[in-house]
Amino acid sequence: MSKKWQITVPGSTANLGPGFDSIGLSLSLYLELTVTLADQWEIIHVSEHLPQDFKIEDHLIFTIAKETAERYQKSLPPCRIEMRSELPFARGLGSSAAAIVAAIELANLVCDLNLTTQDKLNLSSQIEGHPDNATASVLGGLTISQMDEEGNVDTIHVQDLDASFVVFIPHVELKTSEARKVLPEQFDRGYAVRASANANMLAASFVLKDYERIGRYMESDLFHEPFRSKLIPQFDEIHCAAKEAGAYGTALSGAGPTVISIIPNNLGEAFVSKMKVRFPSHEILLTKTDHKGVSVTAVPNILT
């Protein structure tokens, strides 16, 4: 058995408009853990934007891996972990779901838990509280999911979307817990029927890969965007500019504050260049869907 591994997990965007707490899309932006067994715990944040000041016992990777091992009556052995991330924290790009999925995979690896894909979908969605980001990080591609009251997840997995995605990341954080506080507790029946019809049409459009309709229904959310948009820098301006520049559609990425557009592949970098001029205070990245989901590879241990 190899003594050094790399766990790679894609980040994700959730909701895509009205697919609230259900639809997730993996993105080609990654969290990577390089893991070796060690005599004592060590977690090293390699990427500059990750905090340097933290306690191992509070670290999400450690706490979730330990909790997962204990759930299967195993004890987590000490590891040395180098963590790299392209996912900014609290921006709506699934950084916490990716960390949860990575931690479950870590426990699976070092404790020989033999978890099935279904186990990983259930565990990660239960911990996250909703299955949208977590299922996308486990499976890659696009996921349309439901989690029942016992925490069992049912997912329809759509692969090979023929489109690109552009994320507009502002330089402010917005915690999901804060962005959920502004949502109404209840909707009346007529409103709920319209909102769920839009979500149904979005899901069906993804299954059919009808990109014009995906864009249209991404922009028709009634569940969360009408209440959250006031928290999001330049939300309406990005919608309009992206549409004018040829995007199929634009929505809040998860709980925000990142905004995401789906665009035809051929617009690519030209679209991004235009948006960078228009929105200089955002970081704007061209991404694709990840096709693989969470993966583990053995890293050769080179002795020097």
Contacts 24+ apart (CB under 8 A), 56-63: 60/96, 60/99, 60/100, 60/103, 61/33, 61/99, 61/102, 61/103, 61/106, 62/103, 63/103
What are the backbone dihedrals phi and psi of residue 216, each rounded to the nearest 5 degrees, phi first? -65, -45
Alpha carbon dihedral 248, 272, 29, 63, in 10-degree steps, equals: -90
Of residues 133 and 261, the one with the C-beta less far from ligand HSE = 133
Of 120 and 224, nearer to ligand HSE (C-beta) is: 224
CB of 295 to ligand HSE, least distance (A): 23
Least distance to ligand HSE from the beta carbon of 21, Å? 4
- Terminal-residue alpha carbon distance, the chain: 20
Binder to ligand HSE among 59, 91, 120, 224 (CB under 6 A)? 224
Which residue from 81, 93, 245, 255 is in contact with ligand HSE, where contact means CB under 6 A?
Answer: 255
Q: Which is nearer to ligand HSE, 130 or 239 (by Cβ)?
A: 130
**DSSP-assigned beta bridge partners for residue 145:** 155
Q: Which residues are within 8 A (CB) of 150 and not within 5 positions of it... i.e. 6 or more apart?
A: none
Q: Does 15 bind ligand HSE (CB under 6 A)?
A: yes
Residue 132 sits in the site that holds ligand HSE (CB under 6 A): yes
Q: How far is the CB of 180 from ligand HSE (least distance, A)?
A: 5
92 is in an annotated binding site: yes
Could you list the residues that contact ligand HSE (CB under 6 A)? 14-15, 20-21, 130, 132-133, 176, 180, 224, 254-255
